Amino acid sequence: MGPGPSNVPPSVLNAMSSQTIGHLDPEFLILMDQIRSKLRQVFGTDNEVTIPISGTGSAGMETCLVNLLEPGDCVLVGINGVFGNRLRDVAERACATVTEVEQVWGRTFDVDQFREAANGKKFKLVCVVHAETSTGALQELQGFDDFADEVGALLLVDTVTSLGGVELNIDESGIDATYSGTQKCLSCPPGLSPVSFSDKALEVLSGRKTPVQSWYFDLTLITQYWGEERAYHHTAPINMLYGLHEALELILDEGLQNRAMRHLTNCQALIAGLQEIGLEMLVPESERLPSLTSVCIPPGMNDEQVRRQLLENHGLEIGGGLGPLKGKIWRIGLMGASSTSENVSFCLSALSEALRFQGF
């Protein structure tokens, strides 16, 4: 019950234990088409290029940035946690010029903060973290597509900890490029990063003046494998894709709205229990992410000792803080298969015991 990976359903693990076949086997090519179709439904998009990248969520981040950026391009990045920082770092490594929009960690942005930071300039990309895993803040996306149009930019959104846990429709939100990870609300082991590119983003990619910086993440090559050509690029992680196929099937069987409501209901129950214990949340109620809750550590409580006791006595893992929040918060995940009422009760009981042990 930390910030990821989440628990993996038995049927996903069973799927991953199936016999490995070749990545150009006709049966596997059928599975690839099914994965693309299911990913489009979960993302809420008709984008043709909606595929899983071989690698974790950061691989998806890098895929989006290196394919869309060329040296000297201007990028506007919202930073209110670790993963906004990472977007900036990867953009700078792609030799882009980055303008930062800063916000207190644990809070979200108003689009006017981006407008003020832009100061009338034009940009290639506007980058926003939808679900900041380091804080548990959920960014409202309304208005960011219009703002991106104002500054001549594509809208790039990190959906690593929101895909499959909150309602998401990237077409309606005007998102041009997005990436996620399998190990959060999709409840598949880490190792794949679903990405989606709009037609507008593909036009930018096709109009590049320089080669894509990374050969491995070059979508002009990868899409030849996932498209009709089926051209060899790299050996696909066959068994991981078996697992993703089953995980997406479980999500669609549950229903996207039902799944989002389950995450929200269990999050509300967890927070009610934490507040009853006497704990405070980092993120204001209107900005909280249902799949990840950040709890302020009470004064005098030993962060590492509490988490060690939870793990050793109960087999329960929760996350600590990162960066400036290290030692100040616990991050409790209710993601995918881990988001159950039983886990809420289990966590509250175990955490109460650990805190009482320290005199809270």
Tokens of 82: 């670790």
Predicted pLDDT of residue 189: 98
- Do 267 and 315 lie in a common domain? yes
Residue 49: domain span: 10-253
Return d(Cα 129, Cα 137) in angstroms, integer: 9
Whether residue 3 is contained in a domain is answered as no
Domain shared by 225 and 294, yes or no: no
Give the phi and the psi of residue 255 in degrees, each rounded to 5. Answer: 95, 130
How many Cβ atoms are within 10 Å of 92's Cβ, its own excluded?
Answer: 15
Map tokens 């998102």 to a residue: 175
Amino acid present at 79: I
Furthest-apart CA atoms within the chain: distance in Å:
64
**Token pair for 86:** 């990472």
Question: What type of residue is 166?
Answer: V
Instruction: Assess whether 189 and 130 both reside in one domain.
Output: yes
User: Residue 179 domain-assigned?
Assistant: yes
In a domain, 4, yes or no: no
Identify whether residues 23 and 40 lie together within a single domain: yes
What are the structure tokens assigned to 150, written together? 């104002």
Q: Which of these three, 238, 253, 268, is where a domain ends?
A: 253
In the numeric block, the tokens 């893992």 are attached to 317
Contact between 166 and 290 (Cβ < 8 Å): yes
pTM score of the predicted model: 0.97
Residues 179, 245: one domain? yes
Q: Tell me whether residue 5 is in a domain.
A: no
Q: At what angle do helices 238-254 and 26-43 cross, to 10 degrees?
A: 40
| Helix, strand or coil, per DSSP, at residue 130 | coil
CATH number at residue 115: 3.40.640.10
Residue where one domain finishes, among candidates 229, 253, 277: 253
Q: Which of 224, 39, 207 is nearest to 124 (CA)?
A: 207
What number of residues does the chain have? Answer: 360
Looking at the domain assignment, is residue 73 inside a domain? yes
Q: What is the distance between the alpha carbons of residues 208 and 204, in angstroms, rounded to a whole number?
A: 7
Please check whether residues 74 and 87 belong to one and the same domain.
yes
pLDDT value for 308: 97
User: Could you give the C-alpha distances from 340 to 6, 70, 215, 336, in angstroms and in order?
Assistant: 12, 44, 41, 9
Q: What CATH number did the domain enclosing 298 receive?
A: 3.90.1150.10
Cα 66 to Cα 53, 73, 205, distances in angstroms: 13, 11, 10
Residue 74's pLDDT is: 98
Bridging pattern class, strands 177-179 and 192-197: antiparallel
159-170 burial, b if ≥16 CB within 10 A, otherwise e?
A: bbbbbbbbebeb
Q: What is the pLDDT of residue 252?
A: 98
45 and 103 inside one domain: yes
Do 223 and 317 lie in one domain? The reply is no
Q: Do residues 38 and 154 share a domain?
A: yes
210 and 289 inside one domain: no
Question: Of 141, 145, 183, which is closest to residue 161 (Cα–Cα)?
Answer: 183
Q: Is residue 2, in this structure, part of any structural domain at all?
A: no
Question: Tens-digit pLDDT profile for the chain (360 aa)?
Answer: 999 999 999 999 999 999 999 999 999 999 999 999 999 999 999 999 999 999 999 999 999 999 999 999 999 999 999 999 999 999 999 999 999 999 999 999 999 999 999 999 999 999 999 999 999 999 999 999 999 999 999 999 999 999 999 999 999 999 999 999 999 999 999 999 999 999 999 999 999 999 999 999 999 999 999 998 899 999 999 999 999 999 999 999 999 999 999 999 999 999 999 999 999 999 999 999 999 999 999 999 999 999 999 999 999 999 999 999 999 999 999 999 999 999 999 999 999 999 999 999
Within this chain, do residues 333 and 234 fall inside the same structural domain, yes or no? Answer: no
CB 179 within 8 A of CB 129: no
Whether 214 is covered by a domain: the verdict is yes
Q: What is the pLDDT of residue 75?
A: 98
pLDDT score of 274: 98
Considering only CA atoms, which of 4, 1, 8, 3 is closest in space to residue 188? 8
CA separation for the pair 240, 18 (Å, rounded) = 10
Structure tokens at 176: 């041009």
Q: Which helix (H) or strand (E) holds 110?
A: none
Tokens matching residue 148: 């991106």
- State the total domains in the chain: 2
Structure tokens at 23: 């990545």
Q: Is residue 160 part of a domain?
A: yes
**For residue 145, what pLDDT is reported?**
98
Same domain, residue pair 154 and 65: yes
Query: For residue 213, which phi and psi values (nearest 5 degrees)?
Result: -55, -40
Of the candidates 211, 238, 253, which is a domain's last residue?
253
